Amino acid sequence: MIRVSGVSKSIHKNRILKNVHFSVRSGTITGVVGRNGAGKTTLLRIIAGILYPSSGEITVNDQNVFKQPDVKQNVVFVPDSTDALRTYSIKEIVKFYEEIYDTFDQEYFYQLLEKFKFTKQGKIKYFSKGQKALFSLILAFSTNAKYVLLDEPTDGLDVIIKKQILQFIAEAVSERDVSVVISSHRLDELEKMADHIVVLKQGKVDSELEMEELKSQYHKIQVAFEGKLPQHIRDRSEVLSETGRVSVLLISSKDEETKKMIEDAEPILYEELPLSLEDIFVAKLGGDLYVS
């Protein structure tokens, strides 16, 4: 488990992170969501032990990242750009990674390069943006580090490569006993895969969401009545949208009374819809979709 305990960071008197607490459980995907400048990259770099916090502590499997640097073998950080690697060839990078990570799995690495149709020669700078992003992930998961920290892994990529990357991450997590932390400003990308979401707002944890728990807490239903949406039902539910007579409502799963009211009002349409993270945000945060 990674524990982030009371982490604050100031750079040039600018308070970037303020008393951040959360944990990353083994075998899970944690999404760190926040607007540009919320402090996501800074937080990930601190967790990886690249940047010192001004105060607070990071432990990986109960070992302090800054006091026992060996634990960094268990953590790999993937920045949102591959610029640092651009002038190197694949061979050189593999050599470099093998020196840093005792557990680097060369066989798995080359298998993945083949799977994704990479050439084995050439420098990273000749890869397309999507290839660079995928290559960074392949490299990170090949280290066999137990914790992979990904900074905006799909930023600026087209939908096809985005899908490929998200699928790769989900498969790697289910097959290889790793935990992943993904930072993003896109809720919709994380909701399908994250188990746990940490919402960062101006350097602070604004809220934490457990996806399974939350999804079971709400029902999203589409209803239509002969006339308007009855006021007593409107008052007791969150109206997500209204198009003509069709309303989409969010109600608490436990709220049997409202469900009964809807039934008694004899809707001409009643359909349960899949719940999205965005719906949950509307319910939890009163419609403030500040991360999109």
Footprint on this chain of ligand ATP (rule: CB under 6 A): 11-12, 14, 16, 34, 36-42, 185
Residue keyed to tokens 């049997």: 256
Pairing label, strands 204-210, 196-201: antiparallel
159 forms beta bridges with none
| Least distance between ligand ATP and beta carbon 53 (Å) | 13
Radius of gyration of the chain (CA): 22
Beta carbon nearer to ligand ATP, 11 or 269: 11
Q: What is the C-alpha to C-alpha distance for residues 105 and 139, in angstroms, rounded to an integer? A: 9
| Least distance between ligand ATP and beta carbon 43 (Å) | 7
Q: What are phi and psi of 87, to 5 degrees?
A: -90, 0
Is 229 in contact with 223 (CB distance < 8 Å)? yes
Pull the structure tokens for residue 149.
């920290």
| Least distance between ligand ATP and beta carbon 121 (Å) | 32
Beta carbon nearer to ligand ATP, 112 or 200: 200
Beta carbon nearer to ligand ATP, 33 or 223: 33
Is 133 in contact with 151 (CB distance < 8 Å)? no
Beta carbon nearer to ligand ATP, 31 or 34: 34
Beta carbon nearer to ligand ATP, 209 or 248: 209
| Least distance between ligand ATP and beta carbon 122 (Å) | 29
DSSP class of 85: G
| Least distance between ligand ATP and beta carbon 146 (Å) | 23
Beta carbon nearer to ligand ATP, 151 or 238: 151
| Least distance between ligand ATP and beta carbon 154 (Å) | 13
Which residues are CB-contacts of 134 (< 8 A; sequence separation ≥ 6)?
116, 161, 164, 165, 168
Q: What is the C-alpha to C-alpha distance for residues 217 and 210, in angstroms, rounded to an integer? A: 11
Check residue 208 and give left, alpha or beta (phi > 0: left; psi -120 to 50: alpha): beta
